[in-house]
Amino acid sequence: MNLTDLNGTYVLDPTHTTFSFVTRHAMVTKVRGSFEQFEGQAVIDGANPANTNLEVTIDAASVNTRNADRDGHIRSADFFDVENYPTWTFKGTDFAIKGDTVEVTGDLTIKDVTKSITIPMEYQGAAKDPFGNNRVGFEGATQINRSDFGLTWNAALETGGFLVSDKITIEVEVSAIEQA
């Protein structure tokens, strides 16, 4: 099935979907994290992408970098401030199909700061799973500057530079199930 053939309402499958990020730490290594709790839905009109609607909500406190101390710091007011800003949202505003990729442009809101970003999402295909569900898959990545969203905490390094890079790579792997 081609992207232009996709139609219907699809809900994210949280057990097969990943929202993750990568940043430089101490300028020499990468730290990876993901979010364990989120929900999202897309109403897809492949023949007329302008009619497509996409909304995703992420529980910011569900961040997981595989280090409890770091996760606690990320949840604090220094970074995500989850007490005051418990969720992040992404709402699609434009969808442009280019071959097997859909360029998804939308409003990303973190800590009440909303910026438009574009994520090229490569269509991985559609399949019926063993339970009779129609699934679609997409993968994509983009980069943002965390400071654009008010995530400005940092520490200077003795050797120059900063502890945490401003540039963040957002990686998305989606498995969505068609709703009857």
Kindly state the tokens that stand for 102: 């859909």
Contact 6, 126 (CB under 8 A): yes
Among 39, 174, 35, CA closest to 102: 174
Rounded to two decimals, what is the model's pTM?
0.91
| Domain CATH code at residue 105 | 2.40.128.110
Residue-wise pLDDT tens for the chain (180 aa)? Answer: 788 889 999 999 999 999 999 987 656 678 899 999 999 999 999 899 999 999 999 999 999 999 999 899 999 998 899 999 999 999 999 999 999 999 999 999 999 999 999 999 999 999 999 999 999 999 999 999 988 988 775 555 466 555 567 789 999 999 999 998
Q: What is the C-alpha to C-alpha distance for residues 77 and 83, in angstroms, rounded to an integer? A: 8
Beta strand 164-178 pairing with 53-59: unpaired
Please compute, for residue 165, the number of CA atoms within 13 A of its CA located in the half-sphere on the CB side. Answer: 17
Can you say whether residue 41 is alpha, beta or left, with left for phi > 0 and alpha for psi between -120 and 50 degrees? Answer: beta
For the chain, the domain total comes to 1
Q: Could you list the residue range(s) of the whole structural domain that residue 14 is in?
A: 3-178
Q: What is the C-alpha to C-alpha distance for residues 96 and 172, in angstroms, rounded to an integer? A: 18
